[in-house]
């Protein structure tokens, strides 16, 4: 193990980070996407610093295959753009760069500073960048050239101990960004790391901070949950910490009022996770089927509802509108909601007319 030092105000050396070498972290270079290695090598050739950061390093240490590789560098977005022709700067406020390799995208961000707490956009140093990452398990940097893991915050030990520990002080972390509460619960459910009691308590008492978060950001988080393959565990965790009522208020109210609905809803999430494991590329409409099915089943007495085609169109419209309200603030694409509602009604025995395929106008 190597130690990185910096000097304090009196010039005395103080430990800054621990560096885990190849035999200590056990990450094999073979598990790194060659295109990510290429991006890092090109940045280094251009005299910039560059590392793999965040979720990918966490997953590699846990022994899982990362779903993507985020890269961080001291190059500014415009410099990165100049180095990679296949790239685009995205974001108006928080500018970062997407580098494209066919269908694959690498997100390359520039070290951010702590001048405005943990959410500002000013560029900074690696020492500052690490202090604004949410949890220690997400705050590790991997240098694939030297094959080093650089750990400023005890993240490797926390992963090995199995705990989710905040890097940002508890009195600021959720005030500065309430979505971090959802992230904590997500990592608690997906990494096998536990949320300590004190953190859970803080999340419960800070839950109302989610109220003013925009519907688009909540939708983004909900989609990640639906797509995670761990929706049952994550939703159970958000229910336990009072967060789910901000993600899905109608479903939460129904669960509070009706234990049977709660059981059915959670069971459907288990089915969703099993279906997603068998078919990871499943479309959103198929996933929404599991989220909406128990609500639609509860809407009416399906044994008596006339399931004949003449009223089915009206029934479809009513059900669609109810479903749209039920999953607010999430606002999925219309085609996907249409698809899910149709699939649910068909599963309940409603005879819906087949949709006419759209006529394609011949080009002259």
The residues of the shown chain that bind ligand ATP, judged by CB under 6 A, are 54-55, 67, 70, 133-134, 138-139, 177, 179-180
Residue 154 and residue 161 in contact, taking contact as beta carbons nearer than 8 Å: no
Based on CB atoms, which residue is closest to Mg ion, 190 or 319? 190
Please give the residue whose beta carbon sits closest to ligand ATP in the complex: 55
68 is catalytic: yes
Based on CB atoms, which residue is closest to Mg ion, 71 or 254? 71
Residue 225 and residue 193 in contact, taking contact as beta carbons nearer than 8 Å: no
Give which of ligand ATP, Mg ion, none residue 237 binds (C-beta under 5 to 8 Å, depending on kind).
none
Please give the residue whose beta carbon sits closest to Mg ion in the complex: 55
What is the C-alpha separation between 344 and 342, in angstroms, rounded? 5
| Stretch 150-179 residues interacting with Mg ion (CB under 5 A) | none
Residue 67 and residue 107 in contact, taking contact as beta carbons nearer than 8 Å: no
Give which of ligand ATP, Mg ion, none residue 129 binds (C-beta under 5 to 8 Å, depending on kind).
none
Based on CB atoms, which residue is closest to Mg ion, 55 or 188? 55
Q: Counting Cβ atoms within 10 Å, is residue 321 exposed (0-12), middle (13-18) or buried (19+)?
A: exposed
Q: What is the CA radius of gyration of the chain?
A: 24
Minimum Å gap between C-beta 327 and ligand ATP is 22
Helix (H) or strand (E) holding 134: none
Q: One of 74, 129, 134, 177 is an active-site residue; which one?
A: 134
Give which of Mg ion, ligand ATP, none residue 178 binds (C-beta under 5 to 8 Å, depending on kind).
none
Based on CB atoms, which residue is closest to ligand ATP, 179 or 264? 179
Minimum Å gap between C-beta 2 and ligand ATP is 22
Minimum Å gap between C-beta 66 and Mg ion is 8
Give which of ligand ATP, Mg ion, none residue 134 binds (C-beta under 5 to 8 Å, depending on kind).
ligand ATP
Give which of Mg ion, ligand ATP, none residue 179 binds (C-beta under 5 to 8 Å, depending on kind).
ligand ATP
70 is catalytic: yes
Length of the chain: 364
Minimum Å gap between C-beta 159 and Mg ion is 16
Give which of Mg ion, ligand ATP, none residue 273 binds (C-beta under 5 to 8 Å, depending on kind).
none
Based on CB atoms, which residue is closest to Mg ion, 219 or 322? 219
- Distance between start and end Cα atoms, the chain: 70
Angle, vertex CA 154, rays to CA 153 and CA 158, nearest 5 = 130
127 is catalytic: no
Based on CB atoms, which residue is closest to ligand ATP, 171 or 303? 171
What is the C-alpha separation between 20 and 240, in angstroms, rounded? 36
Residue 185 and residue 243 in contact, taking contact as beta carbons nearer than 8 Å: yes
> How many C-beta atoms surround the C-beta of residue 181 within 10 A?
25
Minimum Å gap between C-beta 55 and ligand ATP is 2
* Residue 143, φ and ψ in degrees, nearest 5: -100, 105
**Beta sheet of 50-53, edge-to-edge order:** 2-7, 13-20, 148-151, 140-143, 50-53, 70-73, 104-110, 96-101, 87-90
Minimum Å gap between C-beta 196 and ligand ATP is 18
Q: One of 33, 68, 240, 286 is an active-site residue; which one?
A: 68
Give which of Mg ion, ligand ATP, none residue 112 binds (C-beta under 5 to 8 Å, depending on kind).
none
Minimum Å gap between C-beta 130 and ligand ATP is 9
Helix (H) or strand (E) holding 138: none
Among 232, 221, 224, residue whose Cα is nearest residue 268: 232
Helix (H) or strand (E) holding 40: helix 34-45
| Stretch 18-77 residues interacting with Mg ion (CB under 5 A) | 55
Which residues carry out catalysis?
68, 70, 134
Footprint of Mg ion (CB under 5 A): 55
């Amino acid at each position: 193990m190597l130690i990185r030092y910096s000097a304090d105000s009196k010039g005395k050396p103080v430990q800054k980070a621990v560096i885990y070498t190849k035999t200590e972290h056990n990450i094999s270079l073979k598990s790194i996407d060659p295109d990510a290695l290429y991006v890092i090598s090109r940045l280094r050739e251009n005299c910039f610093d560059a590392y793999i950061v965040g979720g990918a390093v966490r997953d590699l240490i846990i022994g899982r295959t990362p779903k993507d590789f985020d890269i961080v560098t001291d190059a500014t977005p415009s410099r990165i753009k100049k180095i990679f022709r296949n790239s685009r700067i995205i974001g108006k406020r928080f500018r970062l760069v997407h580098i494209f390799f066919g269908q694959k995208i690498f997100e390359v961000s520039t070290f951010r500073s702590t001048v405005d707490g943990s959410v500002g956009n000013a560029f900074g140093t690696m020492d500052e960048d690490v202090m604004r990452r949410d949890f220690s398990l997400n705050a590790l940097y991997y240098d694939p050239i030297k094959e080093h893991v650089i750990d400023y915050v005890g993240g490797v030990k926390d992963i090995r101990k199995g705990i989710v520990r905040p890097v940002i002080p508890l009195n600021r972390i959720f005030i500065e960004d309430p979505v971090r509460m959802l992230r904590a619960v997500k990592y608690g459910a997906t990494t096998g790391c536990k949320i300590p009691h004190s953190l859970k308590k803080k999340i419960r008492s800070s839950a109302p901070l989610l109220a003013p978060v925009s519907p688009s950001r909540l939708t983004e988080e909900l989609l990640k949950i639906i797509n995670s393959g761990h929706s049952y565990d994550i939703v159970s965790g958000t229910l336990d910490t009072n967060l789910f009522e901000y993600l899905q208020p109608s479903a939460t109210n129904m669960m509070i009022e009706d234990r049977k609905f709660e059981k059915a809803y959670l069971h459907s999430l288990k089915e969703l996770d099993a279906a997603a494991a068998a078919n990871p590329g499943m479309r959103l409409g198929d996933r929404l089927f599991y989220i909406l099915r128990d609500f639609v089943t509860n809407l009416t007495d399906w044994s008596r509802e006339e399931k004949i085609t003449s009223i089915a169109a009206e029934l479809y419209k009513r059900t669609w509108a109810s479903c749209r309200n039920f999953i607010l603030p999430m606002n999925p694409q219309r085609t996907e909601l249409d698809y899910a509602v149709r699939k649910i009604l068909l599963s309940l025995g409603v005879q819906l007319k087949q949709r006419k395929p759209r006529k394609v106008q011949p080009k002259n």
